[in-house]
Amino acid sequence: MRSVLAILLVLFATYSVLVYEYGHGDRDERANTAVRVGIRIWQEENCQSCHQLYGLGGYMGPDLTNVVSQRDTMRIRTFIRYGTGRMPAHALSDVEIDQLIAFLAWVDRTGTRTMPPEATHWTGTYLLEKP
């Protein structure tokens, strides 16, 4: 029994290291200073309570994974600053809004939130091609 447990733990440790090092695939791009501040604003404004990125997060507002490539920046800025019926206005400076948009653009460049139908393999899994 102890040996089965030991094998499982070794496999888990190995798998964790592999995930940390290679699991993120090859689409990732290193964050710059503006993006880093944008991440902090995203967290402090608790945007994830209402919005999703890659379908992960809240359900009140739309998924924002690809919002930068789908909507023009002026519209995004207006939404953030003044809010809408359901979305509150955010008291952020112009620079902070730019940093938040830089973060969203950085996320956008990693991929698309929905899987194309052709990515579904007959076994039920996904096979993603490189962009």
Q: How far is the CB of 98 from other proteins (least distance, A)?
A: 18
| CA distances to 3, 4, 83 from 9, in Å | 10, 9, 48
Q: CA-CA distance, 41 to 101, in Å (whole number)?
A: 10
Q: CA-CA distance, 9 to 108, in Å (whole number)?
A: 36
Q: Is 126 in the site for other proteins (CB under 8 A)?
A: yes
Q: Is 101 in the site for other proteins (CB under 8 A)?
A: no
Q: CA-CA distance, 28 to 106, in Å (whole number)?
A: 9
Q: CA nearest 115: which of 103, 125, 104?
A: 125
Nearer to other proteins, 62 or 73 (CB): 62
Q: Is 56 in the site for other proteins (CB under 8 A)?
A: yes
Q: CA nearest 105: which of 57, 60, 71, 62?
A: 71
Q: Is 125 in the site for other proteins (CB under 8 A)?
A: yes
Single out the segment in contact with other proteins by CB under 8 A; choices: 34-42, 72-80, 92-100. Answer: 34-42
Q: CA-CA distance, 47 to 27, in Å (whole number)?
A: 24
Restricting to residues 11-30, name those near other proteins by CB under 8 A: 11-12, 15-16, 19-20, 22-25, 27-30
The footprint of other proteins (CB under 8 A) covers 1, 4-5, 8, 11-12, 15-16, 19-20, 22-25, 27-31, 36, 39-40, 43-46, 48-50, 52-63, 70, 85-86, 88, 106-107, 110-111, 113-115, 120, 124-128
